[in-house]
Structure 1
């Protein structure tokens, strides 16, 4: 599986997880039991709300015209184009076309989107590194810190300094925080939370029960928690606790995402789950 394919699968997985959240939210009437017509109507609502040019570009590439409020009848005639997204949300089929996947992300308001931005944000510094040519020993190289450039596989320790020195050459929206490389570029699930660890070779990883993953600040905030009747499960009627069943028993987490061991999307807590699993039975 190529790196792009892996990233695309991760993107689709994240969109499905967001769908599980959104179908109980503001647009639940469109998403709880999605149909082509409902998704078309939701698409119009999302496009009215968004100011992102990327969303309108994705729409144009999928439907063949620029979205405007007066194009409702034109879009209505293309309702069948929402069928692949309908069956994708229902878990019946998969999506292969990147732009159609971007429309699915728009419908559930998943961010970062589109796929190009998702890849950049997911890889962080790695995405930028690929645009930087690392000189070999034989090449004449501009002096950045009076040191001989190192080969690509030994360059990690100095990448923070090197990238900051050349950021002016790139017109990308990275901040200094995004560019500074942590000494530990990987993380691993440890009982109830993620810890940053040193990256190991594939051979060493193969002996670990829990795999080592690329460091991800957004994912690293996930924590497994204990709950009780006194736990705050909702804020403004929106769930703030997520769960996933493992061997039939629910495990609870502080945010949405995926179960760190099973990889299944976490589901937002419901009153039914609280009544069944949390409240004490007399």
Structure 2
């Protein structure tokens, strides 16, 4: 992960805490969403929260990226002329040692670029089909099951979080009707107001992230069987 991105995001949230007086991450994210909209860049509070989770807390499962335009707005928000200005003024000698920056001569860099370009052309011509790769996939919960979406899609366009594609969860996890629930093979989660949802695969609830529990004979006889009769 880019350490400068982490530093920038952290500084932005610290600035939001000072200006808004809000101590919660969600409160700061909401404040930032309103501020950036006024600056001409629309971004939801949920996206800001995802950015914080990924770049500050290190939650790599979050499928969110910092695009160049957003980096510019974030740098200007904390008082820099541009993102380049932020990078220039926030790279200390110790950080350079931890995150080495190329220090070779321009001639060497140009030579290496040319060499890499030639190798890419040669390898591409010899084994074009071998190097064809599919774009990374992500998925989101649509209320009944997971569906595949582009990793570049905005979280504004979907009701639930966008996560990295997992073939097993994508194929196996979905909601169950009462007639499909089986003891020892199905899972459940108690929701607000006492409602219970049943699922086909173990793990976490797609929305609340609560751990799903296996359906026991007691649960089946109390919550499922009476509604089947």
Give TM-score, length-normalised by structure 2.
Answer: 0.44
Structure number with the higher helix fraction is 2
